[in-house]
Structure 1
């Protein structure tokens, strides 16, 4: 075999470093080398600077440590003394059989195929739980509660006289020594009769607090390891959870934290003083200080037993209005008196005496109007016009006639006196032609929030001002058909006449009566164990009493016309002419007296074409052009009803419940004619004030 010579030919060309390179390549290499040198120098400088900074920081740290060494030694001395105890405790915990079993279980779980994953998942859950608890603790509300924004709502009668006030106020946080003893005992009887029983925050107490925090209701029975008054204080007054409102897990955890914190940090007297300062005593009224001064004009330290029972009853149902739901609050106050007797803080004789005082007790400002609930219905109707942001001050003017209201109250008092007032209830309601409330006296329960009551409240609202500026102004409302008005009156009257909850129903002697008094519709009721001349006579007598007062105070136009007709007939009969012969009538005038109905065509803002004839809007001097086109757009083929207004072609026309003359003048689309009625002149003045239409 002949060996083949090994080939020394390389498979690729290798660069010979010693071989000469072209000048251009040498130049490029030199430039690269210079750049690399500069970069290296820069890095070297940076490294040197960082080294100097580190050495300076080390020297500064050593100097600071030298200065702080004595302070740290003093601070660490207690920790060093406690270290043996900690080590001993850690040793005892580590030697506990449960700890060793847990460690062995963890080792066995880690040896399983999925054991480590399960351990990691458990540790993750524990970490997330710790983060959640830390977040709940960081977002705890202040224990002093959130102060409400002060607000005052005033409801006025037709002449601007205030008839009801609704304030949002919070009283001062006063010490327990500044609260009268009856008020403290009544509050405890209402909220937590077992508050003064001792308890401990041991393992059972902690478990009870946590368990009750996760329940939706607070037990009314004896406490079993958890303070019920503290829990109600935290849930209702500090966190602000309304009864029946859904609560999140975070809210339940925060409640448990706050209950435990207050129970550990504050005494029973401090917790009770805080509860009295944050308890609601009706809508918008927070704290016993504000309640005592607003409702009874007294300081909290001067409250008697009956007044304390009334206020404590309010805390059991804070949605009740103190000057409206008087009967219901008195019933709650009597249950509070029974609770005081049960706790041994009041004798039976003292409870009976306080009960008699409670039966005649009413807060300051309570009137038949406030007890009827009419102001609250008007406020509910005006809430949408006030806007989402609550105003600091609002004024609502209604159609309530003070003179007519006084007559109604006098008539009701007379009938109650005649019936002996022994369990007798009487009430009266007067509606205007537009369905608005002119007078109301409630002897049973307040007006219910029904569609009929809402419509009456809407028709009764005339003016609404918010923070000094007008928001809503309606001078008149459209008339309501007689049948619809009578149905609404009967519905409202039935609500007023229903007996209070829990009272014995004397329905066998109830009676209602409805009838007109001029252009007003009056409804009365009288119920009780005794009535004169059988059921039904009492309500009719009440109606006749009011009708007589109205006729005496302001004679109706119809009565005046009948009296004039009788005088004319008497004078005619004295001359020998036939007094019963009717006067001759002009056919044209009879045709004008008929009402018109249909879809009109707009000529200008003061004239319409309806049923082939020209119709002039009473009290309006019309305008053409853009304003007439806007008026045409407003009507948009709506049906119009026109009633004669005295002239040849003069009418008062309505589209729905809106008077077109008032609409035109209110929008500044015309001017008031000479001699226009006061309501139309007021609409023109409103347009002038707003610089609307022709008044721009």
Structure 2
């Protein structure tokens, strides 16, 4: 049979598969020669000798014919749609045909470049190596991961307004409730750069980046320099090496929040490079300077030039004078310093800022000298001898664990500082310094019976965070309130042994007598004196000219001055009646003659042992036989812990043995020491000077996070 010729439609370059000539008809298809069930059935049907074809074979044949018919209909519909879309596609392709010659020229030039030919050859050689294709696939995968990482870093960039700083206030009070120091978090308003005093802007640039206003281009070399500086751990203090240093400090410290010297992740380094390039390309120099002033730190918790000017000098940022601007600019270089504590160190940094302003040409030598004189006598608002001693900051550090992990909006800390004694100490030190002349330093420290600080004047460096200073701060903390509710009360404190208190006083006094950092005062000849007045332990020191001039009794004279003032303010108590005095002292009354029947060497009998069912006042105090009993080595807690302690005793009889002071006892309920029970269950804290077994019980509770240690 002769096959029909295959035809195409006019103007088409492909076969029309829907035409009858492009596909053999179903009736003309050859039958299979392989014997099988269907083939055998068909053969028998044709020969007329076998049974009729099965229903399954007939169904399959009908399904095949239906599928073929559907394909034919779909092909005809597609051909018709292509015919309609051909003019539209031709019109859309016209611009591409015009661009094609130019694009072909570009691709030809790129393809003819030696590097392109080398790259193509390298790809071909890599593909010929057995593992080359795997290496190419792996390289493409790494490039994809790098692109995803860069996209993730770009999506997680910090806001340009900086992180939020919720405001909070911490007030340190004296024993009578008088505020002596304030700490907290404050963030100023965002000010336009024109609202800041010009001298403040110049001082800030002299401190942060004297070369900020130099010419800088963000070309290929500049971009490479920015990336290089972002991956370095330190920011150079010398002339700029291709990267704007002020912008880099703004991004690293104020936007990303990386502390100097702290480890940084790869993502932080990439984000830093992105932000520096973004700010350098999109914002001008004055706007970057204004953003840096708004986000700079001027001390712990103090952010922005607006907050710094208001909090430290009580004025607007536009009214700052050169000495104040130098003080704030120097503080921005070391924002971990306390403005009202580390005054001497900040003044030294301020003098360096004035030198930098002279170098930049922003200030004349005469103007710098005048500002330096004003800077030597400049102190922020609220600075006093107590803040300069560092005692308020030590008390705050001791109270941090009691305040909890979540910072409070408002907190009040009351200490043992006696305002009357503090006033006496300050006046006595001032008199001695006036007599000693220029170049002398003097200080004074008064500890109470429990080792708490009751007055302090620091003429040298503030107290360092040492174990002795921590113990003194813990003893000085009397009351702690958080957001209007009491958290801790220490109304009664056990006395510290005389030897321990003297050792602590000498250690603290040596810390206060250290020459300030950056000071040129060698302090080679220091004089110290320690003495007692009433129940107070007083230590004084005097350094410098007074000792060199032969006034070797200077520290002792300072002590005598303070002791005389204390004797006037605290007259001796009147002599009690013999029976009352005997009850107080446990023996012979004060001022009374010794009875004839008592041996001269006989000592007063010790306090008697107490037994009975106690009434719980708190976890550190009991009422037994009408007498108040303090558990030795325990600082008690009230509230829930006191109720639990009362439930623990359940009218059990206790035995209390004297432990030193008049009302200090070691009490037992059966075989259990109640002081150890309280500390082991976290219902109280170990008092200063507690025995090792009680300290071990407290350490066990702290490790288990029991009670107050939760």
Residue 553 (structure 1) aligns with:
569
Residue 5 (structure 1) aligns with:
none
Residue 451 (structure 1) aligns with:
467
Residue 236 (structure 1) aligns with:
253
How far apart are the structure 1 equivalents of 2:95 and 2:501? Answer: 85
Instruction: List aligned pairs for 1:82-231, cutoff 5 A.
Output: 92-231=109-248
Residue 218 of structure 1 and its aligned partner are, at CA, apart by 0.6
Residues 356-413 of structure 1: CA deviation (Å, up to 9, x unaligned): 0000000001111111111101000000000000111101111111111111111111
Residue 370 (structure 1) aligns with:
387
Residue 169 of structure 2 aligns to a residue whose secondary structure is strand
Runs of 4+ deviating beyond 4 Å: 14-17, 76-92, 584-587, 590-593, 625-629, 631-640
Residue 235 of structure 1 and its aligned partner are, at CA, apart by 0.4
Residue 100 of structure 1 and its aligned partner are, at CA, apart by 2.6
Residue 546 of structure 2 aligns to a residue whose secondary structure is coil
How far apart are the structure 1 equivalents of 2:534 and 2:614? Answer: 36
Structure 2 vs 1, CA of residues 522 and 89 (structure 1 numbering), >3 Å: closer, same or farther?
farther
Residue 528 of structure 1 and its aligned partner are, at CA, apart by 1.4
Q: What 5-or-longer segments of structure 2 have no aligned partner?
A: 1-34, 43-53, 579-590, 618-622, 631-642, 684-710
Residue 321 of structure 1 aligns to a residue whose secondary structure is coil
How far apart are the structure 2 equivalents of 1:308 and 1:515? Answer: 44
Residue 458 of structure 1 aligns to a residue whose secondary structure is helix
Residue 545 of structure 2 aligns to a residue whose secondary structure is coil
Residue 289 (structure 2) aligns with:
272
Residues 326-369 of structure 1: CA deviation (Å, up to 9, x unaligned): 00100000111111111111111111111000000000011111
Q: Does 1:302 find its partner at 2:319?
A: yes
Q: Does 1:489 find its partner at 2:498?
A: no
Among 485, 490, 500, which residue is 1:474 paired with?
Answer: 490
Structure 2 vs 1, CA of residues 295 and 11 (structure 1 numbering), >3 Å: closer, same or farther?
closer
Residue 465 (structure 1) aligns with:
481
Residues 540-578 of structure 1: CA deviation (Å, up to 9, x unaligned): 111111111111112143xx449x99xxxxxxxxxxxxx
Structure 2 vs 1, CA of residues 15 and 314 (structure 1 numbering), >3 Å: closer, same or farther?
same
Indicate if the aligned counterparts of 1:652 and 1:659 stay in contact, CA closer than 8 A. no
Indicate if the aligned counterparts of 2:614 and 2:653 stay in contact, CA closer than 8 A. no
Residue 121 of structure 1 and its aligned partner are, at CA, apart by 1.1
Q: For the aligned residues, what is the CA RMSD?
A: 4.3
Instruction: List aligned pairs for 1:350-499, cutoff 5 A.
Output: 350-420=367-437, 422-499=438-515
Residue 225 of structure 1 and its aligned partner are, at CA, apart by 1.2
How far apart are the structure 1 equivalents of 2:102 and 2:651? Answer: 91
Residue 424 of structure 1 and its aligned partner are, at CA, apart by 1.2
How far apart are the structure 2 equivalents of 1:580 and 1:348? Answer: 75
Residue 513 of structure 1 aligns to a residue whose secondary structure is strand
How far apart are the structure 2 equivalents of 1:466 and 1:329? Answer: 32
How far apart are the structure 1 equivalents of 2:520 and 2:277? Answer: 45
Among 645, 653, 658, which residue is 2:665 paired with?
Answer: 653
How far apart are the structure 1 equivalents of 2:414 and 2:536? Answer: 20
Indicate if the aligned counterparts of 1:602 and 1:628 stay in contact, CA closer than 8 A. no
Residue 627 of structure 1 and its aligned partner are, at CA, apart by 6.9
Residue 687 (structure 1) aligns with:
none
Q: Which moved more, 1:371-380 or 1:547-556?
A: 547-556
Residue 531 of structure 1 aligns to a residue whose secondary structure is helix
Residues 293-317 of structure 1: CA deviation (Å, up to 9, x unaligned): 1100111111111000000000111
Residue 659 (structure 2) aligns with:
641
Structure 2 vs 1, CA of residues 528 and 206 (structure 1 numbering), >3 Å: closer, same or farther?
same
Residue 88 of structure 1 and its aligned partner are, at CA, apart by 6.1
Residues 576-602 of structure 1: CA deviation (Å, up to 9, x unaligned): xxx996345689xx88742468xx765
Residue 604 (structure 1) aligns with:
614
Among 613, 618, 634, which residue is 2:627 paired with?
Answer: 618
Residues 621-666 of structure 1: CA deviation (Å, up to 9, x unaligned): 9xxx99777349999999751655xxxxxx553679x999xx9xxx
Residue 364 (structure 2) aligns with:
347
Residue 11 of structure 1 and its aligned partner are, at CA, apart by 14
How far apart are the structure 1 equivalents of 2:560 and 2:165? Answer: 48
Indicate if the aligned counterparts of 2:448 and 2:454 stay in contact, CA closer than 8 A. yes
Indicate if the aligned counterparts of 1:158 and 1:398 stay in contact, CA closer than 8 A. yes
Q: Which moved more, 1:82-91 or 1:410-419?
A: 82-91
How far apart are the structure 2 equivalents of 1:81 and 1:340? Answer: 62
How far apart are the structure 1 equivalents of 2:535 and 2:491? Answer: 18
How far apart are the structure 1 equivalents of 2:273 and 2:128? Answer: 39
Structure 2 vs 1, CA of residues 111 and 490 (structure 1 numbering), >3 Å: closer, same or farther?
same
Residue 688 (structure 1) aligns with:
none
Q: Does 1:325 find its partner at 2:342?
A: yes
How far apart are the structure 2 equivalents of 1:637 and 1:519? Answer: 31
Residues 156-197 of structure 1: CA deviation (Å, up to 9, x unaligned): 111111111113011111111111111111111111111111
Among 303, 310, 317, which residue is 1:293 paired with?
Answer: 310
Residue 78 of structure 1 and its aligned partner are, at CA, apart by 12
How far apart are the structure 2 equivalents of 1:640 and 1:260? Answer: 74
How far apart are the structure 2 equivalents of 1:634 and 1:439? Answer: 44
Indicate if the aligned counterparts of 2:530 and 2:539 stay in contact, CA closer than 8 A. yes
How far apart are the structure 1 equivalents of 2:264 and 2:656? Answer: 51
Q: Does 1:630 find its partner at 2:648?
A: yes
How far apart are the structure 2 equivalents of 1:635 and 1:99? Answer: 97
* Number of corresponding residues: 582
How far apart are the structure 2 equivalents of 1:506 and 1:448? Answer: 19
Q: Does 1:529 find its partner at 2:545?
A: yes
Indicate if the aligned counterparts of 1:156 and 1:395 stay in contact, CA closer than 8 A. yes
Residue 543 (structure 1) aligns with:
559
Q: Which moved more, 1:520-529 or 1:99-108?
A: 99-108
Residue 118 of structure 2 aligns to a residue whose secondary structure is helix
Residue 606 (structure 2) aligns with:
594
Indicate if the aligned counterparts of 2:416 and 2:478 stay in contact, CA closer than 8 A. yes
Instruction: List aligned pairs for 1:42-57, cutoff 5 A.
Output: none
How far apart are the structure 2 equivalents of 1:408 and 1:635? Answer: 49
Q: Does 1:314 find its partner at 2:323?
A: no
Structure 2 vs 1, CA of residues 353 and 533 (structure 1 numbering), >3 Å: closer, same or farther?
closer
Among 283, 300, 304, which residue is 1:283 paired with?
Answer: 300
Indicate if the aligned counterparts of 2:607 and 2:658 stay in contact, CA closer than 8 A. no
Residue 529 of structure 2 aligns to a residue whose secondary structure is strand
Residue 532 of structure 2 aligns to a residue whose secondary structure is strand
Indicate if the aligned counterparts of 2:613 and 2:624 stay in contact, CA closer than 8 A. no
How far apart are the structure 1 equivalents of 2:493 and 2:667? Answer: 12
How far apart are the structure 1 equivalents of 2:398 and 2:325? Answer: 33
Among 594, 597, 605, which residue is 1:582 paired with?
Answer: 594
How far apart are the structure 1 equivalents of 2:97 and 2:608? Answer: 104
Indicate if the aligned counterparts of 1:509 and 1:529 stay in contact, CA closer than 8 A. no
Q: Which moved more, 1:224-233 or 1:76-85?
A: 76-85
How far apart are the structure 2 equivalents of 1:104 and 1:626? Answer: 84
Scaled by the length of structure 1, what TM-score is found?
0.75
